[in-house]
Structure 1
Amino acid sequence: MKLLQNILILCLLFLSSTKILAQKDSLALQRKARSLVRDGNQLYAQKQYTDASVAYKKALENSASYDKASYNLGNAMYQNKNFKEAAPQYELTAKTATDKFTKAEAYHNLGNSMMETKNFQGAVDAYKNSLRNNPTDDETRYNLAVAQELLEKEKQDNKDDKNKDNKDNKDQDKKDKDDQNKDKNKDKKDNDDKDKKDDKDGEGNKKPYPKNDDKKDPNEKPKPQKGKMSPQQIKQLLESLNNEEKKTQKKMNAEKAKGEKVKQEKDW
């Protein structure tokens, strides 16, 4: 039992010492971070913004939630016109800061960065957040009014551009449709002209429509229509009738001679 108690005591002492060491390390890192921030501030004052940025970044490596380091880093980047890179640092400061004044300053500068990149909606939101934390800041209120005006102008320009694009699209569609109609009319006219040309001979006179007889064999003799006789047939018929008449007359004469009795003369 006593052995168990001694083990528990040792464990508590070990945990306590570990916690103390961690606190000492944390304090040491914080002190180092503050020192780096002071170095960065001196460089910033000398307008050596790039070197100042390096110092502030090192400070954040030692204390990631050090809001002063992130805020100052944002300012150094802003001075170097790295507005897009500055914005996340101001956002980090606004998130980690514990007092409203620091939050208000971070949101104000975030709005300025958004204005520089023409993100007017983002600027409006940032200035509003700044005023929520510090409603008496007239400079932020003025910047908010400017950002809102620019945002409305941007929306109107986008609307006008959209209407212009719609109009251009409609005009283009109308032009395409007109061109298609022109092409159709041209094709129809060309076809009509071709048909008219085909209907004319080389001298420009209209050709007669072909008759059905044109399809017949040119060597075939024409056939008489029903109910009519050709002159040749009439001639043959007359000759046949004449021959028949002669045969009939000859036959009649022969029959007459055969049927007549020899007349004897009477003896008176």
Structure 2
Amino acid sequence: MMKYYFIITLLFVSLSSFGQVRKLVRKGNKEFDKGNFKQAELNFRQAQAADTASGDVTYNIGNALYMQKKYQESMNAYQHSISQNKEPGRLAINLHNAGNALFKMQNYKESIEAYKKALRINPTDSETRYNLALAQQKLKDQQKKDNNKNKNQDKNKDKNKDKNKDQNKKNDKKDQNKDKDNKDNKNNKDQNKQQQKQPQPKISKEDAQRMLDALQTSENGAQERVKAQRVKARTRKIDKNW
């Protein structure tokens, strides 16, 4: 929860500047209450230009920026206000709101430190204590998520390593099979060459003629069987399906 207070009484620089700053701050407060945070910021910045030493005006600028979701800029404004105003009550509120801006940016570790500093000044602030507990829980969740992410990355790395190992094994096996095939092919070629080199047995003209006659008779029989099958296929009756 944000803490707001608006500064009406400011440090005197001069009677004229004091009146101008007070008028601009009041105008900025009214715009803030209406929800016109951009206009409120402009009014507060005009007041700041008239009184650069006021940490309270800078604090109001931080609130207007926070409501516009400009969290980094709002945190910078709170930190500037802290450096300008060391009054304990206002310092604690600045630290509380700086913690809120850091929380919105998911910078939970630094927001925890801001809340702790605020509680050291005002230990009874229940809102700051609640925000501290919430930031601590968010930090645990964030760290757990990061750890799980790292574990998943490590698992994926291990899976990729195992996959690469399996692929390498497959490639090695392919290479081995390829080498074996090449070796077998070479052996077969060598055997064929040796067989070709071996002298072929000589046969008489009469034996050669008998072998040719036998082959011709076998071929004629095979052709007749093929013709018979074709004829049979052609004369097969086709049943009508209508």
Asked if these proteins are the same fold (TM beyond 0.5), I'd say yes
Equivalent-residue separation in structure 1 for 2:177 and 2:21 (angstroms): 87
Equivalent-residue separation in structure 2 for 1:68 and 1:198 (angstroms): 95
User: What is the aligned partner in structure 1 of residue 138 from structure 2?
Assistant: 150
SS in 1 for 2:52: coil
Closer, same or farther: CA 195–30 of 1 in aligned 2, 3 Å: farther
Equivalent-residue separation in structure 2 for 1:191 and 1:26 (angstroms): 98
The answer to whether 1:45 aligns with 2:10 is no
Closer, same or farther: CA 25–140 of 1 in aligned 2, 3 Å: closer
User: What is the aligned partner in structure 2 of residue 169 from structure 1?
Assistant: 157
Give 1:79 deviation, angstroms. Answer: 1.5
Give 1:170 deviation, angstroms. Answer: 1.5
Closer, same or farther: CA 188–26 of 1 in aligned 2, 3 Å: farther
SS in 1 for 2:35: coil
User: What is the aligned partner in structure 2 of residue 56 from structure 1?
Assistant: 44
Which residue of 68, 71, 76 corresponds with 1:83?
71
Give 1:198 deviation, angstroms. Answer: 2.2
How many residue pairs end up in the alignment? Answer: 185
Identity of aligned residues (%): 29
Give 1:184 deviation, angstroms. Answer: 1.9
SS in 2 for 1:200: helix
Code of the residue aligned with 2:154 in structure 1: it is N
Equivalent-residue separation in structure 1 for 2:97 and 2:175 (angstroms): 68
User: What is the aligned partner in structure 1 of residue 62 from structure 2?
Assistant: 74
User: What is the aligned partner in structure 2 of residue 65 from structure 1?
Assistant: 53
User: Does 1 or 2 have the higher relative contact order (CA < 8 Å, sep 6+)?
Assistant: 2
Contact 1:199-1:207 at 8 Å conserved across structures: no
Give 1:52 deviation, angstroms. Answer: 0.5
Which residue of 112, 126, 136 corresponds with 2:100?
112
Give 1:34 deviation, angstroms. Answer: 2.9
The answer to whether 1:103 aligns with 2:103 is no
Q: Where in structure 1 do 4 or more consecutive aligned residues deviate above 3 Å?
A: 24-31, 204-209
Equivalent-residue separation in structure 2 for 1:62 and 1:160 (angstroms): 53
Contact 1:108-1:126 at 8 Å conserved across structures: yes
Equivalent-residue separation in structure 1 for 2:107 and 2:154 (angstroms): 26
SS in 1 for 2:124: coil
Contact 2:13-2:51 at 8 Å conserved across structures: no
**Structure number, greater radius of gyration:** 1
Code of the residue aligned with 2:42 in structure 1: it is V
Closer, same or farther: CA 90–166 of 1 in aligned 2, 3 Å: same
Give 1:98 deviation, angstroms. Answer: 2.6
Code of the residue aligned with 1:81 in structure 2: it is K
Give 1:140 deviation, angstroms. Answer: 0.4
